[in-house]
Each structure stands twice: as structure tokens, then as C-alpha cells.
């Protein structure tokens, strides 16, 4: 892609993300309620986000949990070609390799209140999950595309503590195959979820 078009595309994507997600009262207020449950019930286990981008949702997780590790999974170079191939095959044609590449680890870490709790896993998920056998109390999966969302659920759900939660973003978006990934996982393992009336239509898995 022409580099000027690439930069313009990244700027527009950034604006859209900010516009649609920074005032998402339902998403943020639900996050607070879920966090209160985890704290009140003293659910053990770390936290994670798969799909961090500039860290605007991750910083909220971090700020609420001064005593839990936060694993930050992202390529930090945007969508991977392998995942984009699947989207295209499924008929989601807007997706481009490298979308969301205009971020970096330093920018993300600067936003974190408890930076010392952050463990950055840079690279392609699920490869970056290798060797992790922690248990989790809260996970946000916000990687947009079918492959990482499905792989994220396969990886994190078995590691979720009883009383823990997984948020998956974009379930009701029309741009990516997020809904297909959630439904495939739910159907295969007979695990229910609750849809949320936030801006991009998240779902919540609990255990
Ligand atoms: C919509 S953005 C995340 C937005 C962020 N959670 C927020 O609320 O500001 C999606 C992110 O998922 C990352 N991503 C997508 N597929 C991935 C994969 N297979 N491995 C790692 N990161 C991935 C992209 O690099 C991008 O930064």
C-alpha cells in the first residue's frame, strides 16, 4: 500500500476507535461492576488483555488492580497476515495486514498507573502465549479478528478462575468475524455468554 495512504488510514482508524470507544459508558461501567465482584469475592489470578493497541482499555484494568499482574498481548505491528487471510476467506474484506500498527510499548506503558505490574508479550498470539501457565481472574479479548479471538478463548478460558470473567469486544460489529469466533467456541464447548449493549457489542464469559 502507498505509504501516504497507509498513514492516512491509520489516522482515520485511530479517530474511529477513539470516537466509538472512549465514551462507551456501558462497557466501562460493566467493567467496574465485574471488578467489584472479583475484589469482593477475592478471586485470585492475574489479568490480561489480548489486543492492546494504544492501551486505553488496558490502563483501566491496570488502575483497578494494584496487586495483580497485567499481561499485555499485542503484535505492536498491527494485524498479522495469517489472521487477515482467514478474514478475507470469510468475506470480511475491509481488513488489511498492519492495521493498528501505529502504537508502541512505551506509549502503552506510560499510561499505566502500576507499570511494574505489566508484562508485555509482543508478537503474534497464540505464539506469545507459550510458557504461560498463570491463572486469570479478568481477561479482555479485543483483537477484532476471528483467529486471535478464537485462539484467545481456547487459551484463556481453561485458565480462568472460578468467579473470573472474559470480555470479548466487537461481537456485534459488522467489520470483522468476531461473532463467528465467539459462537464457534461457545457451541464447541457448550459454554454460554452474555451479550452486552455497549457500542461494539461485547460479550462476557464467566466461570
Ligand atoms: C481494536 S485494537 C485494540 C484496542 C484496545 N483494546 C483499546 O481498547 O484501545 C486491536 C489490536 O489487536 C491486535 N492484534 C490483532 N490480532 C493479533 C494477534 N494475532 N496477536 C497479537 N495482537 C493482535 C492488533 O495489533 C491491535 O492492536
Cα–Cα distances in Å, from 176 out to 10, 75, 145? 17, 18, 6
Counting residues of the chain whose pLDDT is more than 70, the rounded percentage is 95
Q: Which residues contact 63 (CB under 8 A, 6 or more apart)?
A: 112, 113, 114
Query: Residue 204 in contact with residue 182, Cβ under 8 Å?
Result: no
Hey, whose CA ends up nearest to atom 9 of ligand 1? 56
CATH topology for 24-206 is Rossmann fold (3.40.50)
For residue 129, what is the DSSP state? G
Q: Evaluate: CB of 142 within 6 angstroms of ligand 1.
A: yes
pLDDT tens-digit profile of 40-58?
999 999 999 999 999 999 9
Residue 31 confidence (pLDDT): 96
Q: How far is the CA of 34 from the centre of ligand 1 (A)?
A: 22
Q: Evaluate: CB of 73 within 6 angstroms of ligand 1.
A: yes
Residue count of the chain, please give it.
207
pLDDT tens-digit profile of 75-127?
999 999 999 999 999 999 989 999 999 999 999 999 999 999 999 999 999 99
Q: How far is the CA of 53 from the centre of ligand 1 (A)?
A: 5
Amino acid at each position: 500500500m502507498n505509504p501516504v495512504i497507509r498513514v492516512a488510514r491509520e489516522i482515520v482508524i485511530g479517530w474511529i476507535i477513539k470516537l466509538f470507544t472512549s465514551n462507551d459508558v456501558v462497557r466501562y461501567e460493566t467493567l467496574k461492576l465485574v471488578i467489584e465482584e472479583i475484589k469482593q469475592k477475592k478471586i485470585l489470578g492475574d489479568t490480561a488483555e489480548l489486543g492492546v493497541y494504544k492501551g486505553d482499555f488496558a490502563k483501566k484494568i491496570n488502575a483497578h488492580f494494584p496487586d495483580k499482574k497485567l499481561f499485555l498481548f499485542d503484535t505492536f505491528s498491527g494485524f498479522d497476515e495469517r489472521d487477515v487471510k482467514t478474514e478475507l476467506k470469510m468475506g470480511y474484506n475491509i481488513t488489511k495486514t498492519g492495521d493498528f500498527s501505529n502504537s508502541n510499548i512505551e506509549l502503552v506503558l506510560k499510561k499505566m498507573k502500576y507499570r511494574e505490574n505489566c508484562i508485555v508479550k509482543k508478537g503474534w498470539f497464540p505464539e506469545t502465549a507459550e510458557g504461560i501457565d498463570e491463572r486469570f481472574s479478568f481477561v479482555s479479548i479485543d483483537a477484532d479478528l476471528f483467529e486471535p479471538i478464537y485462539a484467545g478463548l481456547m487459551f484463556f478460558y481453561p485458565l480462568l478462575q472460578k468467579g473470573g470473567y472474559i470480555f470479548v469486544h466487537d461481537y456485534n460489529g459488522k467489520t470483522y468475524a468476531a461473532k463467528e469466533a465467539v459462537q464457534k467456541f461457545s457451541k464447541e464447548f457448550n459454554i454460554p455468554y452474555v451479550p452486552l449493549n455497549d457500542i461494539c457489542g461485547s460479550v462476557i464469559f464467566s466461570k
